[in-house]
Amino acid sequence: MPTRLLSKFCLSLISVLWLAVVLSSCKGFFVHPTLSSISVQPPSPLVEVGKTENLQAWGTYSDDSRSQITSGVVWSSSDISRVSIDQNSGVIQGEGTGGAATVTAAAQGLSATATATSYLGTISNFEICHGTFDTGTCPASTWSLSTSGGYEYLYAKGTYNGSAIDLTAAATWTPSNSDISCDNSTSPATCTVSSGITAGTYTITVTYGTSYSATLTIDIS
C-alpha cells in the first residue's frame, strides 16, 4: 500500500476510534430522563375564601434531577365546596365557609396529593357551643360526665360581616385523648367519650384557619 494511502487509512481509523471513545464516555448523555415521581408545592397550601393561590407540580427524574412540570398536569379537588381548583393551571380558590380538601396533581401516569385548607379572612367571637347552631348555649360550659362515657352535640360559631356563621364542618376538632372523638362532618358535631375512660380532665380544641382557636374542658369523674 502506498505510504500516502496508508497514512490516510490510519488517520481515518484513528478518527473512528476516537469518536467511539467519545461516544462511549457520553453514554446516557443523549437519553432523555424519565419522570419517576411528582410532588405538589406547597405541600399544605392555605387560601382565604374568595381568593386564589397558585400550586405547582414538581417532578423528580430518573437521573435524580428535579424541575417544575409546566404542562400535561391535570389537577382535581376532593371537595370543591371548600377548595375549587382549575384543572389545567393548578390555581386553587377558597369556597363557602372554608375547610380542608385533598388536591391531586396527575401527570404521565403518576400522581401526588396535598391538603389544601380554605378559611374566612376575618371573623370574631370564635367559640364552641352546646346544642345546635344559633339555638344552643354559647360559649359551651365545662362538659361533665362519668367514666361510663357519653356523647354531646357541639358546634363551632363565629361572627363574619356582622352575622353568626356555622364553622363546625370547616374547623378542625382535636380531642386531647384517644378515648374522645368528634365527628364534625355535619353540624352539630357529635363528640363521644368512650366507656371506661380514666377519670380526669381532658379538652377538645377546635381550630379554624390560621388564627382562631377555642377549647372545651371535659371533666370525667
**Domain CATH number, residue 82:** 2.60.40.10
CA atoms within 13 Å, Cβ hemisphere of 120? 21
- Verify that 129 and 216 share a domain, yes or no: yes
- Verify that 136 and 172 share a domain, yes or no: yes
- Verify that 68 and 151 share a domain, yes or no: no
Q: Is residue 187 part of a domain?
A: yes
Q: Distance between alpha carbon 144 and the CA centroid of its chain, in Å?
A: 35
- Verify that 135 and 171 share a domain, yes or no: yes
- Verify that 108 and 136 share a domain, yes or no: no
Last residue in a domain, options 119, 149, 178: 119
Q: Is residue 171 part of a domain?
A: yes
CB 171 within 8 A of CB 216: no
Give the residue-averaged pLDDT of 205-211: 91
Q: Say what the pLDDT of residue 23 is.
A: 47
Q: Say what the pLDDT of residue 4 is.
A: 54
State pLDDT tens for residues 112-154: 999 999 999 899 999 999 999 999 999 998 999 999 999 999 9
* Unique residue bearing C-alpha cell 427524574: 61
Last residue in a domain, options 119, 149, 181: 119
Q: Is residue 29 part of a domain?
A: no
- Verify that 128 and 215 share a domain, yes or no: yes
Last residue in a domain, options 104, 119, 134: 119
Q: Say what the pLDDT of residue 11 is.
A: 47
Q: Is residue 206 part of a domain?
A: yes
**Structural domain containing residue 167:** 124-220
Cα 116 to Cα 101: distance, rounded to the nearest angstrom: 5
- Verify that 75 and 144 share a domain, yes or no: no
Cα 100 to Cα 46: distance, rounded to the nearest angstrom: 9
- Verify that 112 and 49 share a domain, yes or no: yes
Using alpha carbons, list the distances in angstroms from residue 56 to 49, 52, 74, 218: 20, 13, 11, 43
pTM exceeds 0.85, yes or no: no
Element (H or E) spanning 101, and its range?
Answer: strand 99-107
| Total domains, the chain | 2
Cα 16 to Cα 7: distance, rounded to the nearest angstrom: 14
User: For residue 10, is pLDDT > 50?
Assistant: no
